[in-house]
């Protein structure tokens, strides 16, 4: 099983600041099968990024995914009020599919 470790656990930032979220895998992941989800309180998750760097339809370009091998990053270039949420990385190339434990982006 591929273990995904996200850091930091919590990121305290102000609107307008840049957020950098890390996802490290226990073994190499095919970049085609790495995604990022956002979950706001009381809502279902939604897919932001698939295939490491491709934004899902309707996702603003301030969300940027990058990485390769075992190290992947989600960058939110300028935080908007609606971006304060929990973010999960996921690998869906090897069974069992696995998620990181999540990074909470909170208002400083």
* Residues engaged in binding another protein (CB under 8 A): 1, 35, 37, 39, 44-47, 50, 56, 88, 90, 92, 95-102
Comparing CA positions, the residue from 8, 13, 22 lying closest to residue 106 is 13
How many CA within 13 A on the CB side of residue 92?
14
Parallel/antiparallel/unpaired status of strands 63-68 and 103-107? unpaired
Distance CA(20)–CA(17), nearest Å, equals 10
Measured from the CB of residue 31, what is the shortest distance to another protein in angstroms? 15
Q: Which is nearer to another protein, 81 or 96 (CB)?
A: 96
Measured from the CB of residue 16, what is the shortest distance to another protein in angstroms? 28
Q: Which is nearer to another protein, 54 or 78 (CB)?
A: 54
Q: What are phi and psi of 94, to 5 degrees?
A: -120, 135
Measured from the CB of residue 78, what is the shortest distance to another protein in angstroms? 25
Q: Which is nearer to another protein, 41 or 81 (CB)?
A: 41
């Amino acid at each position: 099983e591929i273990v995904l470790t996200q850091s930091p656990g919590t990121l305290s930032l102000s609107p307008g600041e840049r957020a950098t979220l890390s996802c490290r895998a226990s073994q190499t992941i095919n970049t085609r099968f790495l995604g990022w989800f956002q979950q706001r309180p009381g809502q279902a998750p939604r897919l932001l990024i698939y295939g490491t760097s491709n934004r899902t339809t309707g996702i603003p370009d301030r969300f940027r995914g990058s990485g390769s091998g075992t190290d992947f990053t989600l960058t939110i270039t300028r935080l908007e009020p609606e971006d304060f949420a929990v973010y999960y990385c996921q690998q869906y190339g090897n069974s069992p599919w696995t998620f990181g434990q999540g990074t909470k982006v909170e208002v400083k």
